[in-house]
Amino acid sequence: MRVAVLHAPRDVRVEDRPRPTVEAPTDAVVRLAATCVCGSDLWPYRGVEAVDGPSPMGHEYAGVVEEVGSEVTTVRPGDFVVGSFSASDNTCDICRVGYQTHCVDRQPGAATGAQAEYTRVPLADGTLVTTPGMPDDDLVPSLLAASDVLGTGWFGAVAAEVGPGKTVAVVGDGAVGLLGVLAARRLGAERVIAMSRHEPRQRLAREFGATDVVTERGDEGVARIRDMTDGLGAHSVIEAVGTQESMMQAIRATRAGGHVGYVGVSHDVSLPGEELFFSGVHLHGGPAPVRRFLPELIELITNREIDPGRVFDLELPLDQAAEGYAAMDERRAIKTLLRL
Ligand SMILES: [Zn+2]
């Protein structure tokens, strides 16, 4: 099969590798309907995270089950399924309270990479969720988005305790931040402030339900959010970047008693204890338990109530994965869909 492999920073090659097969009795092999590049793939691509030898890339997937192990009972060959980047048993005490990314049995959800024609999914019964019947082709991008960026933006909004009557600010205008806007709106927020200085992303944020756009960042961005909220700060802030600046921007833009939902993968962030102590702000986040939200998100997508697939603004064949990475790295694209 064809698979995108990262050899070194900025060196993505699409290569032939053996098609994955069932290895454990709880595995499934999925034939992907489409695949994509994630903002988090840019960390190793840029050399910020070490690349440990040639690495098959990708962790977002939706497609048709090809083969299942002898112990798999909930999905059958021919089912259309969506999974997440984290495989989980969905039965342990941690999973049962909705924290499947911290499952006692957790392992990578797409063990053999997902920028590929096929992937092997461990713990298939706990990890995969079937769609009602075979989805129309035009729903595939949205179902693929559910696998990570939508589920992650959704968790950011839930972790930030978004709800009716609240003012929500979103730090980060990548796919996760934009889908955090969509989630905040769906969860009833009264006002959703997208923080973005990039016009096409501002437009998509408004289409997803942002009521306001703030172009300033850092302390100036914080001052703008406070100006818009009677000097108090937002009730809920979704942090979808993962840097020191974005995390402090999120904390400082939140009112006392409010909540930050942080879902940008943290890179060298260090929090000042004294400032946190006196902020009165709740912090919650981490790797999103996408599995918790998949049944609801699949239903919203297949009922055509939400269209998160609009975050894909570049579509290329899998063989041009390198260009898909470069376009996202240079911010020419929000998110790249790779056709199979
Ligand atoms: Zn578990």
CATH number for the domain including 60? 3.90.180.10
pTM over 0.75: yes
59 contact partners, CB below 8 Å, separation of at least 6? 38, 85, 108, 109, 110, 113, 114, 148
Residues 25 and 144 in one domain: yes
The rounded Å distance from CA 94 to ligand 1 centre is 6
What local confidence, expressed as pLDDT, does residue 274 receive?
A: 97
Q: How far apart are CA 269 and CA 248, in angstroms?
A: 9
Calculate the dihedral angle through the C-alpha atoms of 63, 138, 321, 313, rounding to the nearest 10 degrees.
Answer: -140
Q: How far apart are CA 97 and CA 244, in angstroms?
A: 30
Which of 239, 256, 285 lies at the terminal end of a domain, its last residue?
285
The rounded Å distance from CA 6 to ligand 1 centre is 30
pLDDT at 50 over 90: no
The rounded Å distance from CA 108 to ligand 1 centre is 13
CATH code at 244? 3.40.50.720
The rounded Å distance from CA 107 to ligand 1 centre is 10
Contact 289, 100 (CB under 8 A): yes
pLDDT at 49 over 90: no
- Residue 256 sits at φ, ψ, to 5 deg, of -60, 135
Residues 37 and 168 in one domain: no
What local confidence, expressed as pLDDT, does residue 52 receive?
A: 83
Q: How far apart are CA 65 and CA 44, in angstroms?
A: 29
Residues 209 and 264 in one domain: yes
The rounded Å distance from CA 212 to ligand 1 centre is 39
Residues 107 and 179 in one domain: no
pLDDT at 123 over 90: yes
Residues 214 and 312 in one domain: no
Q: How far apart are CA 12 and CA 320, in angstroms?
A: 9
The rounded Å distance from CA 208 to ligand 1 centre is 32
- Residue 259 sits at φ, ψ, to 5 deg, of -130, 135
The rounded Å distance from CA 119 to ligand 1 centre is 21
Residues 64 and 129 in one domain: yes
Residues 6 and 144 in one domain: yes
What's the one-letter identity of residue 168? V
The rounded Å distance from CA 102 to ligand 1 centre is 7
CA atoms within 13 A on the CB side of 206: 8
Enter the tokens of residue 16: 């032939």
Residues 264 and 185 in one domain: yes
Q: What is the pLDDT of residues 210-220, one digit of tens each?
A: 999 999 999 99
Residues 218 and 294 in one domain: no
Domain span at residue 233? 151-285
Of 108-112, 168-172, 294-298, the range with the lowest mean pLDDT is 108-112
Residue in 177, 327, 317, 151 with CA at minimum distance from that of residue 238: 177
Q: How far apart are CA 96 and CA 55, in angstroms?
A: 32
Which of 249, 267, 285 lies at the terminal end of a domain, its last residue?
285
Residues 131 and 33 in one domain: yes
What is the total count of domains within the chain? 2
The mean pLDDT value for 152-160 works out to 98
The rounded Å distance from CA 93 to ligand 1 centre is 7
Q: What is the pLDDT of residues 77-100, one digit of tens each?
A: 999 999 999 999 999 999 999 999
The rounded Å distance from CA 168 to ligand 1 centre is 31
Number of residues written out for the chain: 340
Residues 100 and 75 in one domain: yes
Residues 248 and 276 in one domain: yes
Q: What is the DSSP letter of 264?
A: S
The rounded Å distance from CA 311 to ligand 1 centre is 30
